[in-house]
């Protein structure tokens, strides 16, 4: 990796990290913590900052590095700019339009990868990118955030599931086992599609698919083999397994609390059981592999990583209990500790990179 590539990648990582920090700030304001807000609409952009500005930027950058071409870098550029525009107070349609173009490019990435290496997991990832595009188009059209968020959830869940399906090939799953996986994906997408006609029934259907997918991952993922090892493989496996448990909890909540899928404490539990419990747990698990691939810097495993992972799940449990029991104090403190766990994760990773500098040299 030459110096120009390194500057571009670090610049895009900075855009994603900036969106993450702004998204966490907006989330604290939404939870009722008394913090300054740059604009009156600042709390509303919490979702776009986290999903489009941070997660889509990170995923787009990772895929651009993997494909090894120039044009995929347009994905993190567009999603990063989208989040900046969301913070400036300009009409949201402009940022949403950029994010929609990024969704199209991400679909193109997986089409290109499938042409090079035809495999079913790339089809799942292409469907993930399609879900991102649908969510971004709904955002551009001015749909309520709660109406488009399920598509953003599908984007992240299907992306991660596609990656795990790729790794599961080591165990050579039978055609029946793979069919169960694809049926789960189909139920999620069919439920979301039916949501255009009956939103709450579609959410229930998608919840069944999320639960089925979580059970599949808990049964057939390689994490159960890795957890028996030591060091980084065990840490990653524990993060993966706990993430799958939260995905299962999320599927159950989607099914039973579908009528609350618009606002309120139940809505908070419905979303963050997946966004935090599943997605962020996956980030914690894969960061020691993905970040060195992007940056070229060593990120050695440290046992202290268990602290930010444990704090994430303990604080999320506190938050969800507060949500379901409508105990505002538990909800607020659980949310605050969620933020602390993510900041602690960032600190631990930077510290690990600095201690790994001799190996980088």
Q: What is the 3-state secondary structure (H, E, C) of 266-328?
A: HHHHHHHHHHHHHHHHHHHHHHHHHHHHHHCCCCCCCCCHHHHHHHHHHHHHHHHHHHHCCCH
Q: Which of 268, 146, 249, 247 is nearest to 203 (CA)?
A: 146
- Residue 217 CA to residue 245 CA, distance in Å, equals 9
Instruction: Please compute, for residue 193, the number of CA atoms within 13 A of its CA located in the half-sphere on the CB side.
Output: 10
Q: How far is CA 283 from the centre of its chain?
A: 8
**What is the reported pLDDT for 361?**
47
pLDDT in tens, the chain (361 residues): 667 778 888 899 999 999 999 999 999 999 888 888 887 788 889 999 999 999 999 999 999 998 888 899 999 999 999 989 988 878 888 999 999 999 999 999 999 999 988 889 999 999 999 999 999 999 999 999 999 999 999 999 999 999 998 887 777 878 899 999 999 999 999 999 999 999 999 999 999 999 999 999 999 988 888 888 888 999 999 999 999 999 999 999 999 999 999 888 999 999 999 999 999 999 999 999 988 888 888 888 899 999 999 999 999 999 999 999 989 899 999 999 999 999 999 999 999 888 866 554 4
pTM: 0.93
**What is the reported pLDDT for 1?**
64
**What is the reported pLDDT for 269?**
95
Cβ–Cβ under 8 Å, residues 353 and 297:
yes
By the 10 Å C-beta count (0-12 exposed, 13-18 middle, 19+ buried), 192 is classed as buried
**What is the reported pLDDT for 354?**
85
Cβ–Cβ under 8 Å, residues 246 and 316:
yes
- Residue 225 CA to residue 215 CA, distance in Å, equals 16
Q: How big is the chain by its Cα radius of gyration, in Å?
A: 19
- Residue 335 CA to residue 340 CA, distance in Å, equals 9
**What is the reported pLDDT for 249?**
97
- Residue 220 CA to residue 24 CA, distance in Å, equals 33
Residue ranges in the chain assigned as alpha helix (H) = 3-30, 46-48, 57-67, 74-88, 92-116, 120-140, 145-168, 175-194, 199-220, 223-226, 232-256, 265-274, 281-295, 305-324, 328-355, 357-360
Cβ–Cβ under 8 Å, residues 98 and 139:
no
Maximal C-alpha separation, the chain? 58
Phi-psi region of 68 (alpha: psi -120 to 50; beta: other; left: phi over 0): left
């Amino acid at each position: 990796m030459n110096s120009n590539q390194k500057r571009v990648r670090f610049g895009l990582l900075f855009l994603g990290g900036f969106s993450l920090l702004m998204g966490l700030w907006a989330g604290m304001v939404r939870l009722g913590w008394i913090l300054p807000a740059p604009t009156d609409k600042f709390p509303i952009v919490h979702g776009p900052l986290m999903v489009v500005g941070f997660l889509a930027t990170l995923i787009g950058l990772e895929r651009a590095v993997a494909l090894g071409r120039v044009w995929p870098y347009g994905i993190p550029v567009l999603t990063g700019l989208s989040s900046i525009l969301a913070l400036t107070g300009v009409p949201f349609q402009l940022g949403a339009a950029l994010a929609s173009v990024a969704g199209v490019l991400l679909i193109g990435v997986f089409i290109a990868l499938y042409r090079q290496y035809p495999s079913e997991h790339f089809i799942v990832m292409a469907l993930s990118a399609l879900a991102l595009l649908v969510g971004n188009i709904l955002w551009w059209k001015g749909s309520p955030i709660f109406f488009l968020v399920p598509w953003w959830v599908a984007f992240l869940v299907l992306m991660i599931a596609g990656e795990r399906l790729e790794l599961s090939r080591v165990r050579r799953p039978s055609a029946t086992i793979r069919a169960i996986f694809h049926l789960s994906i189909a139920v999620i997408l069919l439920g979301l599609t039916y949501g255009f006609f009956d939103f709450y029934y579609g959410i229930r259907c998608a919840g069944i698919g999320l639960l089925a997918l979580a059970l599949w991952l808990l049964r057939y993922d390689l994490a159960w083999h890795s957890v028996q090892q030591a060091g980084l493989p065990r840490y990653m496996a524990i993060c993966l397994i706990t993430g799958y448990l939260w995905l299962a909890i999320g599927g159950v909540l989607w099914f039973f609390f579908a009528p609350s899928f618009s606002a309120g404490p139940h809505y908070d539990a419905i979303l963050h059981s997946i966004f935090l419990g599943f997605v962020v747990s996956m980030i914690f698990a894969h960061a020691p592999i993905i970040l060195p691939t992007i940056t070229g810097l060593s990120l050695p495993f440290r046992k202290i990583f268990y602290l930010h992972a444990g704090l994430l799940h303990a604080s999320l449990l506190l938050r969800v209990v507060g949500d379901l029991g409508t105990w505002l104090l538990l909800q607020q403190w659980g949310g605050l500790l969620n933020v602390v766990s993510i900041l602690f994760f960032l600190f631990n990773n930077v510290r690990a990179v600095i201690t790994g500098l001799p190996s980088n040299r």
